[in-house]
Structure 1
């Protein structure tokens, strides 16, 4: 039997890693060090159904408590690793104890960026959405007629804006960049999503930053924006990106770059230490990328589990993502980084549309808005490395299935 595997972190990637190891009949001792008080659970619903109180936390658990004991997994909740001694192959835990390992895997995820206290980020009524406790606090604030300010026009901010609007709040979204979703989507997709929100009454202000929050008795009451305007705000939702939780690895001398740098096998420069999920920076198409997605957390973790169990296949990322806003489902296949051209294709039913990304005339990604057929077709084309005929793709009457021929 192999020596102990210590998994640092208790989220999607951590669970996928240990579940796959046990599915592969790997019997090594496993200890999971989870900072949260809850067993591993799904995070995407936190900013959607969980925030709307349509689903409870117990339904988000990947497995109930007994599963871990049945699979001989020692999971320690509300516990952190405070120090890593690579020479001794030991970690110090927040309770002061030491734990030895043969192999260690970082699955520490990422932490949301917060507003600095100097501009009012420490006022009551200012929230991020990363774990269930954040969502619990924010859900209590979602009362009809209140005024919500969303800082940041990325997917997390826009999903929270949608929930707030559904809940009857007045919502303003501010985005410093020229447009919402600028970092992650083409201008065409930004325009489609912008109209989805504006048609539902959300006030979206692009090229607008936050100068400061104004408080009364320690609680936010208004916001002064970069254009000098002041708007009332009963609560503020901050969605300005995340930072990889790589401090422990950095302190231990491992290479980091807003994430823990690994090779195609998920291994760091220390052959006994791996990193998976949102905290990992991995090679892809001659680039280093960090993929913040459920799909990558699962697929990379399962690939590393196979390697630990004796396999030799490198991980080849095939990115896909999704975002639910109102009754709109945005599905994304591929990675549009560095695109130099897009093509917008109307879907077969009202409200459906897709945006196809190209780099040097090669298909690299597709965004499908309420268009499952475009998403499935695009994903298959990308996985096969096929760029479709542009004339057929541009023809809204052409059958998408013909592109796969």
Structure 2
């Protein structure tokens, strides 16, 4: 008697879910693969939503992971516009908001994260924007592209600063209101944060730090201003709220899975239920190098971890140990960052190159090892930076700073070329 065909269900229509489905098929799985996507769209990539697409340099179709017909060719069913409402691990069932129940043999939660909402007055006014989905980006692009508007960005993190740069590029006046004393200090430290602060101010952004927002002002016609906690009112025609995200872990928590700043998994993305996996922004994954769990919200994690999770579901042996990576483009500054933020938080920062001219590499060094690196307007070095981190090569500040020494030569430990 022929065995019943297995069904793998992926909850989430983002990059991580698409890469997981692709990897499941790549491992030779011939059963049913179903992607449940809450948005009425095929899986797409998020970085262009705050970069090329928002800037008007790419069309909407460019954000999709695969063309629509690719899923049919791979025999992958995509349920667009279907949100999951309940997960029952005991019965291996997923219930949709429509009431439909889907049975699964294995299931992957790739539900992502939701922008943190502003809790004060005026949050629902016309002209107030968040940026997470392709619809959000389309709406914001339409609001920014006429130019000559007063744009206020609340939040001085990566999304806030990228939106600010794009808004200014359209010919708008831009004010950024940041809670932190230095933008990005929580992510890259104050010294590097000052580099980005200087970049924005030089280009004309009114960047205000240590500023909290009390209310958004306006009427039925739209937002007209932002009132700060000190009582100042900043005039606004468009307000963009970039105050962080919250992992969409409610489905898992209600199902009894362990949740701690995301859905808890081992290094193979398996949750506390053997047939349920989690990946991407929503997952708090054990990292074997760090010996602890981390939750990463960047594109490269969705790309690489999504594929790894798919392989694990299909039966491959997986212990995910990729080095976190992200990038940004703002005005004339391009940057790549690789490394472990949890280790970099209290590490020494060593600079190589011209910091004032914004053409340098920053290394975060802890216990004589590089734990993170950022190349700013310096290219074709990220692979070497990642090797320094991965191979834990002993380094000293003088060698890192010495531009006469090729970066690749730093891979040789201190003293390796001596005494021969």
Give the TM-score, by structure 1 length: 0.96
1:225 matched residue in structure 2? 228
The 3-state SS of whatever aligns with 2:55 is coil
2:176 matched residue in structure 1? 173
2:41 matched residue in structure 1? 38
- Deviation, 1:240, is 0.6
- Deviation, 1:283, is 1.5
Kindly tell me: are residues 387 and 148 of structure 1, through their superposed partners in 2, closer, same or farther at Cα, counting changes over 3 Å? farther
Alignment of 1:202-217 (within 5 A): 202-217=205-220
Alignment of 1:151-190 (within 5 A): 151-190=154-193
Structure 2 contact 11–35 (Cα < 8 Å) conserved: yes
- Deviation, 1:162, is 0.5
Structure 1 contact 221–234 (Cα < 8 Å) conserved: yes
Residues 241-250 or 119-128, more deviating: 119-128
Partners in 2 of 1:392 and 1:339 — Cα distance? 21
Structure 1 contact 373–400 (Cα < 8 Å) conserved: no
The 3-state SS of whatever aligns with 1:119 is coil
- Deviation, 1:374, is 4.4
Structure 1 contact 173–204 (Cα < 8 Å) conserved: yes
Partners in 2 of 1:399 and 1:86 — Cα distance? 54
Matched, 1:286 2:291: yes
- Deviation, 1:104, is 0.6
2:325 matched residue in structure 1? 320
1:10 matched residue in structure 2? 13
Residues 234-243 or 277-286, more deviating: 277-286
1:120 matched residue in structure 2? 122
Aligned counterpart in structure 1 of residue 51 of structure 2, from 43, 48, 56: 48
Over residues 373-393 of structure 1, what are the superposed CA-to-partner deviations in whole Å (9 max), with x where a residue is unaligned?
Answer: 443321121122224332111
Over residues 246-265 of structure 1, what are the superposed CA-to-partner deviations in whole Å (9 max), with x where a residue is unaligned?
Answer: 00100111111231110111
Kindly tell me: are residues 348 and 163 of structure 1, through their superposed partners in 2, closer, same or farther at Cα, counting changes over 3 Å? closer
Kindly tell me: are residues 217 and 94 of structure 1, through their superposed partners in 2, closer, same or farther at Cα, counting changes over 3 Å? closer
Alignment of 1:13-92 (within 5 A): 13-92=16-95
**Coordinate RMSD, CA, aligned:** 1.7
Alignment of 1:98-137 (within 5 A): 98-116=101-119, 118-137=120-139
Partners in 2 of 1:31 and 1:157 — Cα distance? 34
Partners in 2 of 1:288 and 1:311 — Cα distance? 21
Kindly tell me: are residues 366 and 79 of structure 1, through their superposed partners in 2, closer, same or farther at Cα, counting changes over 3 Å? same
2:273 matched residue in structure 1? 270
Matched, 1:199 2:180: no
Structure 1 contact 342–355 (Cα < 8 Å) conserved: yes
Structure 1 contact 354–374 (Cα < 8 Å) conserved: no
Matched, 1:345 2:347: no
- Deviation, 1:348, is 11
Structure 1 contact 24–309 (Cα < 8 Å) conserved: yes
Structure 1 contact 7–31 (Cα < 8 Å) conserved: yes
- Deviation, 1:69, is 1.1
Partners in 2 of 1:307 and 1:288 — Cα distance? 18
Partners in 1 of 2:170 and 2:32 — Cα distance? 46
Residues 74-83 or 227-236, more deviating: 227-236
1:389 matched residue in structure 2? 396
The 3-state SS of whatever aligns with 2:187 is coil
Structure 1 contact 336–357 (Cα < 8 Å) conserved: no
- Deviation, 1:309, is 2.4
Residues 270-279 or 61-70, more deviating: 61-70
Aligned counterpart in structure 1 of residue 408 of structure 2, from 395, 401, 405: 401
Partners in 1 of 2:43 and 2:394 — Cα distance? 39
Alignment of 1:238-387 (within 5 A): 238-284=241-287, 285-337=290-342, 338-346=345-353, 351-387=358-394
- Deviation, 1:56, is 1.2
Over residues 116-157 of structure 1, what are the superposed CA-to-partner deviations in whole Å (9 max), with x where a residue is unaligned?
Answer: 2x3211111110110111011111111322111110010010
Partners in 2 of 1:396 and 1:229 — Cα distance? 47
Residues 200-209 or 333-342, more deviating: 333-342
Gaps of 5+ in 1: none
2:140 matched residue in structure 1? 138
Give the TM-score, by structure 2 length: 0.92
Tell me the matched-pair count: 404
Partners in 1 of 2:18 and 2:87 — Cα distance? 21
Over residues 342-361 of structure 1, what are the superposed CA-to-partner deviations in whole Å (9 max), with x where a residue is unaligned?
Answer: 11221599531121112233
Partners in 1 of 2:228 and 2:318 — Cα distance? 51
